[in-house]
């Protein structure tokens, strides 16, 4: 009976965004409570993350951004922009979040089986020199570069199904032909990037903007006609999924119509592409919908091959 590594620490709850912020600690509390109560809970292998080093963050981020986040935390926190909050412990927690994604890469490549990273703050909006959109550092992009640098892979793909386009991940994969970035996202929506003409420095980026109200059938057409053919041509040795769940019909920040079971189906398709899949949490702001969607993906990972 297969098991699933889940990288998580309660320290992720110490990133305090304030009582009214959508990206709040209760998101992870809800997810973890549901996972621990699930019938398959004994098959989850919980692991504490390491902290990424500032040197590792420097592979993708300017030193000025790293220093800005650290200084803001040391001063007691504040707003880096209207959406992106830093609290006194946020810098340390963000290092743990980034390190958790690196641990996830290690786990997937050591077992040739999937793993989950349940971390916050999320990362896919963070650009080379700017924190934005609730994100401090670009976790998925760092994990992809880590797989190239440390594990010496030749081709790594990032699939981003968060409802918002991952402008930061795209920027940080754009000029590296060994990385592919694929995003399906609501358009128009924050942050306003992700148009079909954005194709990367070597055709290594695929954007699939979808209209508000899109449901499973619309997403499935995109997967069948565009995403899987693109990824089959790329032949990734590792697939990193920026798993945001804010395209769920119950989510307050978007207008899509997915259900929790749809995410389970998308995860099964990822695992049919390769068993080397790292799922990492991005968005999802309705607590019940988020927890149910994470459970659906987790069940897909635990199904027999």
Would you name the residues annotated as active-site residues? 125
Structure tokens belonging to residue 153: 């892979």
Question: Across the strands, what pairs with 240?
Answer: 158, 278
Report strand pairing: 84-86 vs 115-117: unpaired
Report strand pairing: 4-7 vs 115-117: parallel
Residue tagged 């030749």 (tokens): 154
How many contiguous H segments (helices) and E segments (strands) does the chain have? 10, 10
User: Collapsing DSSP states into helix, strand and coil, what is residue 9?
Assistant: coil
Burial category of 215 from C-beta neighbours within 10 Å (exposed 0-12, middle 13-18, buried 19 and up):
middle
What does the radius of gyration of the chain's CA atoms come to, in whole angstroms?
17
* Residue (of 175, 153, 152, 119) closest to 239 by Cα position: 153
Cβ contacts of 10-13, under 8 Å, gap ≥ 24: 11/89, 11/92, 11/93, 11/96, 12/93, 12/96, 12/97, 12/118, 12/119, 12/120
């Amino acid at each position: 009976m297969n098991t699933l590594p889940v990288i998580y620490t309660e320290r992720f709850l110490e990133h305090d965004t304030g009582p009214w912020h959508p990206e709040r600690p209760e998101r992870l509390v809800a997810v973890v409570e549901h996972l621990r109560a699930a019938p398959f809970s004994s098959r989850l292998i919980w692991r504490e993350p390491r902290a990424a080093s500032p040197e590792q963050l420097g592979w993708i981020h300017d030193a000025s951004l790293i220093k800005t986040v650290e200084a803001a935390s040391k001063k007691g926190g504040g707003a880096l922009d209207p959406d992106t909050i830093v609290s006194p412990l946020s810098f340390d927690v963000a290092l743990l979040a980034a390190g958790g994604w690196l641990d996830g890469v290690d786990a997937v490549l050591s077992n040739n089986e999937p793993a989950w990273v349940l971390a916050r703050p999320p990362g896919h909006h963070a650009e080379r020199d700017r924190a934005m959109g609730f994100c401090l550092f670009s976790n998925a992009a760092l994990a992809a570069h880590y797989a190239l640098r440390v594990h010496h892979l030749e081709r790594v793909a990032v699939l981003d199904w968060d409802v918002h386009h991952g402008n930061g991940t795209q920027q940080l994969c754009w000029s590296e032909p060994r990385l592919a970035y694929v995003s399906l996202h609501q358009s128009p929506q924050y942050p306003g990037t992700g148009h079909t003409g954005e194709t990367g420095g070597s055709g290594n980026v695929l954007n699939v903007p979808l209209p508000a109200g899109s449901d499973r059938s619309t997403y499935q057409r995109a997967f069948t006609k565009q995403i899987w053919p693109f990824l089959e041509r790329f032949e990734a040795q590792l697939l990193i999924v920026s798993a945001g769940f804010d395209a769920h019909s119950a989510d307050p920040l978007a207008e899509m119509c997915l259900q929790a079971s749809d995410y389970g189906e998308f995860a099964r398709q990822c695992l049919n592409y390769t068993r080397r899949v790292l799922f990492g949490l991005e968005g999802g702001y309705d607590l019940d919908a988020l927890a149910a969607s994470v459970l659906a993906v987790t069940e897909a990972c635990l199904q027999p091959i």
